[in-house]
A and B are shown apart, each in its own frame.
Chain A
Amino acid sequence: MLPNVSRETLLDWCRRMFIIRHFEESLVPLHDQGVFGGHYHLYIGQEATGVPALSCLRADDYLFTTHRNHGHLLARGAEPKRLLAEILGRGDGYNKGKGGSFHTVVPSLGFLHTSAVVAGIIPLATGTAYASKALKNGRITVCLFGDGALEEGAAPEALNLASLWKLPVLFLCENNGKYGAGRATGATPSSTMAAFPLTDLPTAYKIPARQIDGIDAGTVHAAISETVEKIRRGEGPQFIETQTVRWPGSETNWPSVAQPTDSSLAWDVSGVAEKVREWYRSYDPLLIFIRELVDAQQATKEEVAAIEKKVKAEIADAVSFAVASPYPKPEEAARDYFA
């Protein structure tokens, strides 16, 4: 269902979701051609969680995310060209090439640190929440992580601290393992966690927890905006698990794009390769969103296509910018390690 927001906001979200989608897809050929190395993780299939969820935050709230961070940064308004430059290790990147994909930091958007260690950010999030409470500045912290993070001891330690000291933090667990190949066995969302549902973990600590459909933008927006208000009112930590179906392009060792996205797919998937067709037909949150947008007459197919065209051009520019951006000087490596 469509979220209860203005048309202007809906179109803005549409644009942000397209930015995420096309940005992420653009990384695959760049990686395969050797323009950048190392592991990278794409947010494709989770856009309808990131964009509506992060729209509920204030400009000065804190966010912590993980190796699957591009979607969060872009949803929050990071510049595609500077993010891409960072992923490529270039001097114009947000971290001047020192962080790379996993560690992109943009303090002005609330991203002070990103850890590549699963669950590494969960204790840190309790810290910014603790500071905000002590400094009485009204900021809240959103801690974004995946279903795997709860297996790490750091997670229950942090949940315990948050509940014990009533910290203003939203634990947002994006479970993208629903029916995901390689992860799910039977009804369990994750085959390496005995607790099921995952919300049983925070519940033990008396942290209010719920599971919601992460594919539906309206559901996400309603749940997150309500939950964020509770935290702002001082009710203590909250936990939300959003569920999405893993993008088929993540099933291989390295991401692969079997089907480049185009808004027309929202109405006709006949051209999509059979093994991924069902995902694009029924589980692609971006396509579902634009279909709902048009069905509700908030935009025409042509308007949506026009938004997408502009985004594609913006991403193409970002790619040119990043690829042309020079590498930092080698001596930079030995500088700037202490304040």
Chain B
Amino acid sequence: MREMAYYEAKFEALHEIMAADERVHLINGTFLSLSPHRHIYQKLVKKYPDRIMSPPISELGFCGLATGAAMAGLRPIVDISTGSFIFEGWPQVANEAANAYYMSAGQTHVPVVFHLFHGLRGGGASQHSASPQAMLWNNPGLEIVLPSSPRDVKGLFKTAVASDNPTIFVDHVHLLDLKGDVPENDAPIPFGVADVKRKGSDVTVISTSYMVQRCLQVAEKLASDRISVEVVDPRTLVPFDMATLMASVEKTGRVVIVDETHQSCGVAAEIAARIAETGFDKLKAPLRRVATLDVPVPYSPPLEEYIGPREDRIIEAIRAVLR
């Protein structure tokens, strides 16, 4: 077992992926965003100059190019960079890549990965802070994966590339410096397998991406109040592991869902609906969601902080379901 930073594990994954399969091409390359460590990415660029392309600012163009290349036998990873920019290439992702396999009755495969950074980043304002995964979940035909730890990012990235389906890899810049354990010779993590990140008995907190880390911090705080919080991370929205979630819901009977997408029709909304439909009789209290408020993302730091799933709101929700 090694302790690694998230960005190191992600980079190691990319390295191994590129070495293992020469059909993998990278289109655009801000996989380490604006991290001070991003220069290590240049090692990859030097090693595989013919397989790493730096496109112009043309999301329709390069998302479509990656989709077409996937149809013709490559396995491209497109980096959309700031998640908001997926809106510039949306037709190619949602209306072409997502539909191709189904409407061809399985004749055409689209093994492309669309990588992006979502969420509140600190001063990103309304056009650099989107979390488009809820909208993408509502657009059938796409797999959606959200890692939250160094081990997860490495294992899930490999599965994303190996998948024959178009996959949205949803990352978060606040995870990049996180440290965690990554086993040597780790195996890829299958999609559709949730992870209990912290065992507990009083309340089930379901969370994704960077919010998993925030919930773990909250759980640690509440432990001293003798509240035992179980944190469950679905890791993939599509496919979705209902079984692990329901096992936890059965155990605790109390549910709080914490997610950075906006409240209306957000990720938390869908998870809540699924639990209410299948496990209503297991609930000892109404479930609660803690999501980003339904407003465009404001710039000013106190405003941006206000609208997100703040720690105090998570704690308040947990206490509420325990009453």
- Direct touch of chains A and B (CB < 8 A): yes
Hey, which bits of chain A sit against chain B, CB under 8 A? 62, 64, 94-99, 103, 105-107, 112-113, 115, 117, 120, 122-132, 134-135, 139, 153-154, 157-158, 160-161, 164-165, 336-339
Contact A134 B51 (CB under 8 A): yes
Q: In the complex where A160-B56, A161-B55 touch, is A127 in contact with B71 (Cβ < 8 A)?
A: yes
Contact B56 A161 (CB under 8 A): yes
B89-116 interface with A by 8 A CB criterion: 91-92, 95-96, 99-109, 111
Contact B101 A338 (CB under 8 A): yes
Contact B108 A105 (CB under 8 A): yes
Known: A160-B56, A337-B101. 5 other contacts (CB 8 A): A106-B107, A120-B96, A127-B70, A157-B58, A338-B101
**Is B50 located at the chain interface by the 8 A CB criterion?**
yes
Could you list 17 A-B pairs, sorted by A, with CB under 8 Å? Answer: A99-B104, A107-B108, A112-B104, A113-B71, A123-B60, A124-B67, A124-B68, A124-B96, A126-B65, A130-B25, A130-B69, A134-B50, A161-B55, A161-B56, A161-B61, A161-B65, A337-B102
Residues from chain A with Cβ under 8 Å of B92 in the complex: 120, 123-124, 154
A135 CA to B25 CA in the complex, in Å? 11
A120 CA to B72 CA in the complex, in Å? 17
Interface-central residue, B50, B92, B105, by most chain A CB under 10 Å: B105
Residues from chain B with Cβ under 8 Å of A337 in the complex: 101-102, 140-141
A95 CA to B107 CA in the complex, in Å? 8
Shortest Cβ distance from B25 into A: residue: A134
Contact A103 B66 (CB under 8 A): no
Contact A339 B67 (CB under 8 A): no
Q: How large is the interface on B (under 10, 10 to 19, 20 to 34, 35 or more residues)?
A: 35 or more
A123 CA to B111 CA in the complex, in Å? 16
Residues from chain A with Cβ under 8 Å of B107 in the complex: 94-95, 105-107, 112
Residues from chain B with Cβ under 8 Å of A132 in the complex: 72
Contact A99 B103 (CB under 8 A): yes
A125 CA to B104 CA in the complex, in Å? 17
Shortest Cβ distance from B143 into A: residue: A338
A94 CA to B143 CA in the complex, in Å? 25
Contact A128 B105 (CB under 8 A): no
* Cross-interface CB contact of B68 among A126, A134, A164, cutoff 8 Å: A126
Interface-central residue, A103, A122, A154, A165, by most chain B CB under 10 Å: A154
Shortest distance from the beta carbon of A55 to any chain B beta carbon, whole Å: 22
Residues from chain A with Cβ under 8 Å of B143 in the complex: 338
Contact B61 A123 (CB under 8 A): yes
Interface-central residue, A127, A135, A160, by most chain B CB under 10 Å: A127
* Cross-interface CB contact of B66 among A99, A127, A135, cutoff 8 Å: A127
A68 CA to B103 CA in the complex, in Å? 17
Contact B91 A165 (CB under 8 A): no
Shortest Cβ distance from B239 into A: residue: A338
Q: In the complex where A128-B69, A154-B61 touch, is A113 in contact with B74 (Cβ < 8 A)?
A: no
Residues from chain A with Cβ under 8 Å of B95 in the complex: 115, 117, 120
Contact B74 A98 (CB under 8 A): no
**Is B320 located at the chain interface by the 8 A CB criterion?**
no
Contact B50 A103 (CB under 8 A): no
* Cross-interface CB contact of B69 among A115, A127, A157, cutoff 8 Å: A127
Shortest Cβ distance from A96 into B: residue: B105
Residues from chain B with Cβ under 8 Å of A160 in the complex: 56, 58, 61
